[in-house]
Amino acid sequence: MPLSLVALMMTSPVAAVAPAEPAMPRPAAILAQTRRVADWQLANRTNWAAMPAARKSVRDARDWQQATFWVALTELAGRDRSYAKPLLDLGRAEEWRMGDRPYHADDQLIGQAWLWAAQNGGGKQAAAPVRAYFDHLLANRPTIGLEFIPVAPGKGTSTCTDRWCWCDALFMAPPTMLRFAKTTGDKRYADFVHEEWKAATDYLFDPSENLYFRDSRFFDMRDAKGRKLFWSRGNGWVMGGLVRVLQVLDRQDPQRPYYESLFRKMAARLVTLQKADGYWPASLLDNDPGTPPESSGTAFFTYAFAWGVDNGLLDRRIYEPAAVRGWHALQGAVQPDGMLGWVQQVGDRPDSVSAKETQFYGSGGYLLAGTAMYDLSKKRIKR
């Protein structure tokens, strides 16, 4: 983060931004870059060699690893209708099913793609399994605690994941349920989201840093220099989830100020943690020089900043340059064939990254960033 921007954040929100910022790219260029990554991922759906740490479940299109990409593709399809066909083809092949676990947030994410399809050529049958899934959830609501106790030593799973006890879940489940609540007009689904989101936030949010711990195992964990561990992609999931919640809530919804406040608090902290090269480090408080690029967290933060500026929630003078820097950084992660590299592999904390490693969720984050940047650039150019 350039010192000039830090000074800007500490003084006046209307002061001038430092010179020599990268220029806002043209909308056509952004869309072309976004299509390129989408096309590579669609053509390499079974290229497992590029995803060495992917769980076997990645082969299931309904799993969160793939579902992130498919949900993001709905946004691209909204700007280029040619991308609707692979989504509709996938849904029909999967018979519009949700994931197999009845409570796990990861198995609810794909529902966002099915709800989009129901309104874009898939018909009412596309939403039927979503209704059955959430009706079962409401009728059998889990009441377990949120402490993350691994089911076996060294394993990153816990029985608490029947609720939203890890911050990634806030991207996976709440926007899906809120979209369904809006589709049906049934307030029960929205009430569930607001209650569970606040419970997760009360537990996982660190108000001294305005960031989320990934789960309770990280409350007292520190790195070699004594810094708290706030995972970039984990907080990226939350920021992406906040965007997708705010997209659904009406302006007059009494719950909306809560999410807007949280979104602004996190954004104000995150903008100070962006590196001079435009990336965010895998461990957000790791400001050591030479930290490697990491594209998945950076993509989600770029998405959130671009959307927040475009929708009047974030100060353009501060956050638009940060979004542009993030987008330019992401272009450096795209390999010559269109693969998005520098994606940290599946995990639950900061880890090593490589230019030659990707994941569906990395491509998904890139598509979300690209579509939000495209919208922002279109309005910017018109002005």
Q: What is the mean pLDDT of the chain?
A: 92
How far is 64 from 72, CA to CA, in rounded Å? 12
pLDDT tens figures, 52-75 = 767 788 899 999 999 999 999 999
Q: What is the mean pLDDT of residues 374-379?
A: 96
Q: Which fold has domain 3-382?
A: Glycosyltransferase (1.50.10)
Catalytic residue among 168, 315, 348, 375: 168
SS3 content of the chain, % helix, strand, coil (to 5): 55, 5, 40
Q: What is the CA radius of gyration of the chain?
A: 19
- Tell me the C-alpha distance between 101 and 82, whole Å: 32
Distances from the Cα of 108 to the Cα of 113, 178, 348, 372, 381, angstroms: 10, 12, 19, 23, 37
CA dist., res. 186 & res. 313, Å (int) = 27
Please give the Cα distance from 369 to 101 (Å, whole number). Answer: 29
Q: Enumerate residues 6+ apart whose C-beta is below 8 A from 342.
A: 292, 293, 294, 295, 333, 353, 354, 355, 357
Helices (H), the chain: 3-10, 27-43, 64-77, 84-93, 111-118, 128-139, 169-172, 174-184, 187-204, 232-246, 256-270, 295-310, 316-333, 360-382
Angle (CA) 97 103 109, round 5°: 50
Q: How far apart are CA 301 and CA 232, in angstroms?
A: 9
Q: Is the pLDDT of residue 18 over 50?
A: no
Q: Tell me the pLDDT tens digit for each residue of 294-347.
A: 999 999 999 999 999 999 999 999 999 999 999 999 999 999 999 999 999 998
> Mean pLDDT, to the nearest integer, of 342-359?
92
Are the beta carbons of 180 and 115 closer than 8 angstroms? yes
Residue 156: band (very low, low, confident or very high) from pLDDT cuts 50, 70, 90: low
Residue 64 is predicted with a pLDDT of 96
What percentage of the chain reaches a pLDDT higher than 90? 85
Count Cα atoms within 13 angstroms, Cβ side, for 13: 7
For β-strands 211-212 and 205-206, DSSP reports them as antiparallel
Q: Is the per-residue pLDDT at 11 higher than 70?
A: no
- CA 25 vs. chain centroid, Å, equals 22
Q: Is 222 helix (H, G, I), strand (E, B) or coil?
A: strand
Cα angle, residue 105 at apex, residues 103 and 111 outer, rounded to 5°: 100
Residues 6+ apart with CB under 8 A from 283: 223, 227, 229, 230, 231, 232, 349, 350
What is the number of helices (H) and of strands (E) in the chain? 14, 2
pLDDT at 359 over 90: yes
Domain boundaries, the chain: 3-382
Nearest-angstrom CA–CA distance, 213 and 276 = 24
What is the reported pLDDT for 382?
67
Residues, the chain, total?
383
Confidence of residue 383 (pLDDT cuts 50, 70, 90): low
Taking the C-alpha atoms of residue 234 and residue 282, their distance in angstroms, rounded to an integer, is: 10
CA separation for the pair 15, 289 (Å, rounded): 28
User: Is 168 one of the catalytic residues?
Assistant: yes
- The predicted model gives 175-187 an average pLDDT of 97
Distance (Å, whole) CA 245 – CA 193: 10
